[in-house]
């Protein structure tokens, strides 16, 4: 199974403005495979393959931001980091520094990741019911308690939202919920109830709302999409009918087309405008 993460890169040397979103020049798509990472150039569609030294653990989730990919290595209780830099003389060419692995707490089983900025990522630890703030240059970590079986994490501004799947023995024990707290100040977590079961994937829309996909109970074909207002910290709408075990979610570059992966249906599309 392949999971996609889309990354727009700033490739000009020095302190430069980001490339316009309407241009694919310099953009890279990161695709995690069974045991490695493929980097696909959106300019010429060339593919390079990266791996992480010292581990054979397969990646489970990926996040991209700026010039960085961070990948969770669940079986190794670690994350893999891939840093991209420009290759002179071409200001939009890509090369990669050697990829490296950063260990997390033993038994953490990391299964979700989001990049906050040019040095910090947040990792959901499903086996420890926690989320970890990781400096992906120094390896320094700080953990915060989350809910039951957290599998996803996303940031809206300075606020962290953790997707708690609420699985016990691989089976939904009840509806999922979000744990929410400020990333950089006093961390007093809130809980935001969701309607669906086995939620895992979440994405932020151009409307600053959170879109959370719940896979539902296996065999019940009851996947749902929850729309959450991160300011009011409440679920404001639920879309039924996503079928059996919908998966990863991403917005089309146009901004109003929500694309949801489905093993049975292919790509589901929701118009959010």
pLDDT by 10-residue block (mean), the chain, 273 residues = 37 27 66 89 87 87 91 95 77 71 96 95 98 96 97 96 98 98 88 98 95 97 98 98 94 88 92 91
* Number of domains, the chain: 2
The residue among 197, 209, 196 whose CA lies nearest residue 161 is 209
156 within a domain of the structure (yes/no): yes
What's the rounded Cα separation, in Å, for the pair 17 and 48? 26
Looking at 96, 118, 145, which one is the last position of a domain?
145
What's the rounded Cα separation, in Å, for the pair 81 and 52? 8
Please indicate, yes or no, whether residues 179 and 267 belong to a single structural domain of this protein.
yes
Please indicate, yes or no, whether residues 262 and 163 belong to a single structural domain of this protein.
yes
247 within a domain of the structure (yes/no): yes
Using alpha carbons only, give the angle 151, 241, 221 rounded to the nearest 5 degrees: 65
Residues in the chain: 273
9 within a domain of the structure (yes/no): no
17 within a domain of the structure (yes/no): no
76 within a domain of the structure (yes/no): yes
Give the CATH number of the domain where residue 246 resides: 2.130.10.10
Give tens-digit pLDDT for 234-263: 999 999 999 999 999 999 888 889 999 998
Give tens-digit pLDDT for 121-169: 999 999 999 999 999 999 999 999 999 999 999 999 999 999 999 999 9
Do residues 163 and 152 make contact, with C-beta atoms less than 8 angstroms apart?
yes
% of the chain with per-residue pLDDT over 90: 65
Please indicate, yes or no, whether residues 141 and 160 belong to a single structural domain of this protein.
no
Please indicate, yes or no, whether residues 187 and 75 belong to a single structural domain of this protein.
no
Please indicate, yes or no, whether residues 141 and 154 belong to a single structural domain of this protein.
no
Please indicate, yes or no, whether residues 54 and 157 belong to a single structural domain of this protein.
no
6 within a domain of the structure (yes/no): no
The residue among 159, 164, 209, 171 whose CA lies nearest residue 191 is 164
234 within a domain of the structure (yes/no): yes
Please indicate, yes or no, whether residues 204 and 185 belong to a single structural domain of this protein.
yes
List residues bridging with 37 in a β-sheet. 32, 50
pTM: 0.88
Predicted confidence at residue 10, as pLDDT, reads 29
18 within a domain of the structure (yes/no): no
The residues, ordered by sequence, that sit 6+ positions from 53 with a Cβ below 8 Å of its Cβ are 98, 99, 100, 101
Considering Cα of 240, then 241, then 247, then 249, what sign does the dihedral take? negative
Count Cα atoms within 13 angstroms, Cβ side, for 72.
30
Predicted confidence at residue 162, as pLDDT, reads 98
Please indicate, yes or no, whether residues 193 and 264 belong to a single structural domain of this protein.
yes
Domain of 205, in residue numbers: 146-272
Please indicate, yes or no, whether residues 161 and 268 belong to a single structural domain of this protein.
yes
Please indicate, yes or no, whether residues 101 and 150 belong to a single structural domain of this protein.
no
Predicted confidence at residue 229, as pLDDT, reads 98
């Amino acid at each position: 199974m392949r999971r996609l993460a889309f990354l727009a890169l700033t490739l000009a040397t020095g302190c430069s403005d980001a490339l316009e979103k309407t241009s694919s020049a310099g953009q890279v798509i990161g695709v995690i495979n069974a045991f490695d990472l493929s980097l696909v150039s959106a300019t010429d569609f060339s593919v390079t393959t990266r791996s992480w030294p010292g581990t054979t653990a397969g990646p489970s989730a990926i996040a991209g931001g700026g010039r960085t990919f961070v990948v969770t290595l669940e079986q190794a209780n670690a994350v893999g980091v891939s840093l991209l830099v420009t290759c002179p003389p071409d200001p939009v060419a890509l090369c990669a520094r050697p990829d490296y692995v950063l260990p997390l707490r033993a038994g953490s089983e990391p299964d979700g990741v989001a990049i906050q900025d040019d040095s910090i990522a947040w990792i959901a630890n499903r086996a420890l019911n926690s989320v970890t703030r990781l400096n992906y240059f120094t390896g320094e970590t700080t953990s915060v308690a989350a809910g039951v079986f957290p599998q996803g994490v996303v940031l809206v501004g300075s606020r962290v939202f953790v997707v708690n799947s609420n699985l016990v023995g691989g089976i939904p024990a009840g509806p999922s919920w979000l744990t929410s707290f400020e990333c950089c100040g006093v961390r007093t977590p809130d809980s935001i109830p969701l309607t669906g079961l086995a939620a895992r994937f979440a994405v932020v829309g151009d409307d600053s709302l959170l879109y959370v996909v719940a896979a539902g109970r296996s065999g019940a074909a009851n996947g749902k999409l929850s729309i959450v207002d991160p300011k009011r910290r409440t679920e404001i709408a639920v879309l039924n009918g996503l079928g059996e075990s919908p998966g990863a979610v991403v917005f089309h570059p146009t901004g109003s087309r929500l694309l949801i992966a489905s093993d049975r249906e292919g790509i589901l599309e929701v118009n959010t405008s």
